[in-house]
Structure 1
């Protein structure tokens, strides 16, 4: 390896580091390309790693109670399984009954759409077309040849999707297996990563890993708490407002509330349509507006500041961009990884900025009196590094 000192000019500084580290840059680019190519099969491993990361602190606490690592992992998995089954047994019947009510109300919805909604919008159906059972039957009979072709094409598409369905089921079954083994061997994995880091970089990597671990842990715990609180609030509040589909709407809002404003927008649209079809009274929308107005206030002024706080430091625009970029690059896996990766990148960007302000490339050609970049004082509650 070349041991010449790093030159002082900016151009020589960049040339030196490119010459010294180009093989590792190629390795990094190759790994990134491999991750993109393997995107369709990464979902169970990404979700499993996320579950292992979340569960590791609990397992560590159980180990301090003199349980072995494997026994502690089994305890955590048993508790999570029982909690999931309890939630499923509690929520599934209610969601099922609400969907049955939704299906039973479809004829009334069609009548309301034809007799009230469309005329108020100035839309007129063609002569002889009725949105009821007999009218829909007549439409299907009249266009049976086209409908038959559509059904055939749909069936072919479903048949071709059989392999995709099997892959999806296999991936879902792999998640607990992957998370179990990763959680059991988490400490060994961290030790292996520490062992391949050059010793001269360990202090800096440990500092970055500690801060990223604190930010990421705060983000995951806080965001999951906010999502659960919003789902509970909207389900209860919309039920009190008289909406039959309150539970379904509440769960939808809670699940997608990690994207700023998207959960509320989608929830308002679904709740407004469902309430109008259910009551056929525009004044009932006042209660929907009240529910979502209070929900927005609670989310922005109570839940997010209290449960998430300001440690993550991600602007709402950055969150939206991260989710869209992750979905574009890696599909569903990218959406799952977008916000955790963005939170870690925010930590790295803060450190990179401090190094950039001190680098020869930034300071080349500037007056000698240029003051040194201020160093960020260490916080008293700086998280410890996850690297042992």
Structure 2
């Protein structure tokens, strides 16, 4: 009888995958709403445990998330835009330093044949690119707002995110219980165990990794600002976001920051201070942030993280990138149980 359940289970799983691929263009507000709902559910559970009603708790968590988002938009976004504008203005100086200082030093150090990079009229190039960017932005806006239905659909998707998040956050536990009761009774105990482990993995990854990325972005930005690097916020933000892949944030951040710092200061002392900032950030990540916020429950190799992101983007675009790592982390839980079941079977242990 148990063997007859597997074809049904595989059929449902296949149907779910086909539906996800076919409905991918409309899934973005639902995926974002589910992500917000999952992030807020533990906070709502805490408030509910202290005697606050579920709906009131969801409203309070929504106010908290809205305040944090507004604070970020009002403070971080203008500063990032200013520094990005400054970065564009420094492109000619950075290119000149690479061609006149860095490249000749590398060639002489490693006895490489001389290679000359082409001379670029940066004034014309930047003007042309900014003009192209303006045309692209205008064309995108025309595409979005070219018809009343297009604009209405865009606004509807934007407004749908908090609605989906609110109802999922309010009814999360009820929905999970109903889904568990739909499983065959013989599977419910094992399914509850594996879902609990998957929830630990997802919580460790989504909540923990986001906090690690945020903390590293703040550490790197503040450290570079104390050193005096002019593009501290941009460099720190990029390094923090790249930390979703282990060690990638450190590598991207320190290399780009060293180049910018040397082009700005022109002395090795500044490079040592930049290296110290990223060294402190890496130590804090390894000793404090990752063990406390994430732990060792994810079990995803860095190569698997990169593959999951690329595969998700290839299959379902931006929606695929959003769900790639959570889905991979959950799959790893079931794979570990499958491997344990296989090693306990007669097929593995028999003569």
The question of a shared fold, defined as TM-score above 0.5 by the shorter chain, is answered with: yes
Distance in 2, matches of 1:336 and 1:47, equals 8
1:61-109 Cα shifts (integer Å, max 9, x gaps): 2223333322221111011111221233232343344334335545655
Tell whether the 8 Å contact from 2:181 to 2:188 is kept in structure 1 after alignment: no
Tell whether the 8 Å contact from 1:111 to 1:131 is kept in structure 2 after alignment: no
Tell whether the 8 Å contact from 1:110 to 1:131 is kept in structure 2 after alignment: no
Tell me how far 1:156 sits from its aligned partner. 7.5
Counterpart in 1 of 2:308? 322
1:221-276 Cα shifts (integer Å, max 9, x gaps): 32122112211110111112220010111111112211112222222343233223
1:112-169 Cα shifts (integer Å, max 9, x gaps): 567656776756577xx77465xx39x99xxxxxx8xxx7999489636744686776
Counterpart in 1 of 2:236? 250
Counterpart in 2 of 1:377? none
Distance in 1, matches of 2:238 and 2:132, equals 32
1:300-322 Cα shifts (integer Å, max 9, x gaps): 33322232222223333333332
Distance in 1, matches of 2:157 and 2:211, equals 26
Distance in 2, matches of 1:86 and 1:193, equals 37
Distance in 1, matches of 2:82 and 2:230, equals 10
Counterpart in 1 of 2:21? 36
Tell whether the 8 Å contact from 2:94 to 2:260 is kept in structure 1 after alignment: no
Aligned residue pairs, count = 338
Residues 1:159 and 2:139 are matched in the alignment? yes
Counterpart in 1 of 2:160? 174
Residues 1:65 and 2:45 are matched in the alignment? no
The 1:76–1:353 alpha-carbon spacing in structure 2 relative to 1, beyond 3 Å, is same
Looking at CA atoms only, which structure, 1 or 2, has the larger radius of gyration?
1
Distance in 1, matches of 2:78 and 2:136, equals 33
TM-score when normalising by structure 1: 0.74
1:36-65 Cα shifts (integer Å, max 9, x gaps): 222232222112112111211221222233
Tell whether the 8 Å contact from 2:92 to 2:122 is kept in structure 1 after alignment: yes
Tell whether the 8 Å contact from 1:260 to 1:320 is kept in structure 2 after alignment: no
Distance in 2, matches of 1:39 and 1:282, equals 50
1:311 aligned to which of 275, 281, 297: 297
1:196 aligned to which of 182, 185, 192: 182
| Paired residue secondary structure (1:330) | helix
| Unaligned 5+ runs, structure 2 | 108-113, 146-150
2:39 aligned to which of 28, 33, 54: 54
Distance in 1, matches of 2:154 and 2:162, equals 14
Residue correspondence of structure 1 range 267-346 to structure 2 within 5 A:
267-281=253-267, 284-346=270-332
| Unaligned 5+ runs, structure 1 | 7-16, 141-146, 368-388
Residues 1:239 and 2:225 are matched in the alignment? yes
Hey, which of these two has a bigger chunk of helix by percent? 2
TM-score when normalising by structure 2: 0.81
Distance in 2, matches of 1:156 and 1:81, equals 31
